[in-house]
Structure 1
Amino acid sequence: MGIVSVSMPEDLLEEIDDIVETHDYSGRSELFREAGRKLVQEFREPSLEDRDLVAIVSALFPYDSPAVETKMTELRHTHASAVRSNSHSCICDDQGCVETFIIEGELATVSEFVRDVEATNEDVQVEYSLFPVDSIQRPTL
């Protein structure tokens, strides 16, 4: 089995250690293997292959983070063919910002965009939802 070294903020490591202890994992490695398997499964979900998808991608980051904001703008332009909408909101009395993107494309396109947003900065928290376009219910007349 390979060995991987990961850097992360101390507060995140403390939270991970709490989860390991409270959920009876044998250690951090077991938790990371499980998380890794779930992430791989999510990106390889066969029911989403070869289907048009709409994704809502939200990124939360500290207020007054010009490098992150610049990167978000760059991503919007780099992925212009997939970005259908983008908004920026300052939240919690300027404690943070939320950048929201609506992305349309196949799984590979959406996955690449999510990876690029996640790689922006360690202070960026990313969440996303996927919806197959063909699952949209048409109204009956």
Structure 2
Amino acid sequence: MEQELMRIGVSLPDNLLNKFDSIIEGRGYSSRSEGIRDSIRTYINQYEWMSDIRGRRVGTITIIYDHTKRGLSNAVADIQHDYSDLIKSSVHIHLDHDNCLEVIIFDGEGELIKEMDERLMALKGVKYVKLNTAPPAEKI
């Protein structure tokens, strides 16, 4: 059964659109719209997977952000302090003059981990966030 298609408008920076177009061409999509639909489906699946994180979890959150954005470094640190009981360690490196990478290693309640991850994602100037979780060793 075919669903009705809705038209939307999206504003993107040139470099992001050029990268996207290159990827969809390389993957053989028939149109940009099909690539966008596939990307949205993937995003929804990832979100639904993240929404189901419950119980004790261990893992990492990797973030890349522009430390030159006013207040961003402090906001990242403040969020980490809010979840200090979950965070076991973190590593911070400078990728270039403007960008930093942090890997946050955690052990704790999945719903709190998801909450921390979503707060980091919502910060303006954060360019990349990747959550990786696993059950604790005794459950594997």
Does TM, normalized by the shorter one, top 0.5? yes
Match of 1:79 in 2: 83
TM-score normalised by L of structure 1: 0.71
- Aligned position for 2:130: 127
Residues 49 and 66 of structure 1, relative CA distance in 2, 3 Å threshold:
closer
Q: CA-to-partner distance for each residue in 1:31-58, whole Å, 9 max, x for gaps?
A: 2322222232233339x64332123111
Task: In structure 1, give the amino acid aligned to 2:86.
Answer: A
- Unaligned stretches of 5+ residues in structure 1: none
Deviation at 1:14, TM superposition (A): 0.7
Q: Quote how far apart the aligned CAs of 1:66 are.
A: 4.7
Q: What is the aligned-residue identity percentage?
A: 21
Out of 43, 49, 74, the position equivalent to 2:47 is: 43
Structure 2 SS opposite 1:29: helix
- The CA RMSD over aligned residues, in Å, is 3.0
Q: Kindly tell me: are residues 110 and 31 of structure 1, through their superposed partners in 2, closer, same or farther at Cα, counting changes over 3 Å? A: farther
Q: In the TM superposition, what is the alpha-carbon distance from 1:135 to its structure 2 partner?
A: 6.0
SS of the residue corresponding to residue 71 of structure 2 reads: helix
Deviation at 1:123, TM superposition (A): 5.2
State how many pairs are aligned: 135
**How far does residue 3 in structure 1 lie from its aligned partner after superposition?**
4.4
Counterpart of 1:90 in structure 2 is 94
How far apart are the structure 2 equivalents of 1:40 and 1:114? 16
2:12 corresponding residue in structure 1: 8
TM-score, normalised by the number of residues in structure 2: 0.71
User: What are the superposed Cα offsets for residues 93-138 of structure 1, whole Å, 9 maximum, x if unpaired?
Assistant: x45311221233444333332222222235522223221215665x
Number of the residue aligned with 1:99? 102
Distance 1:111 1:2 in 2: 31
Does structure 2 retain, via aligned residues, the 8 Å contact 1:43–1:111? no
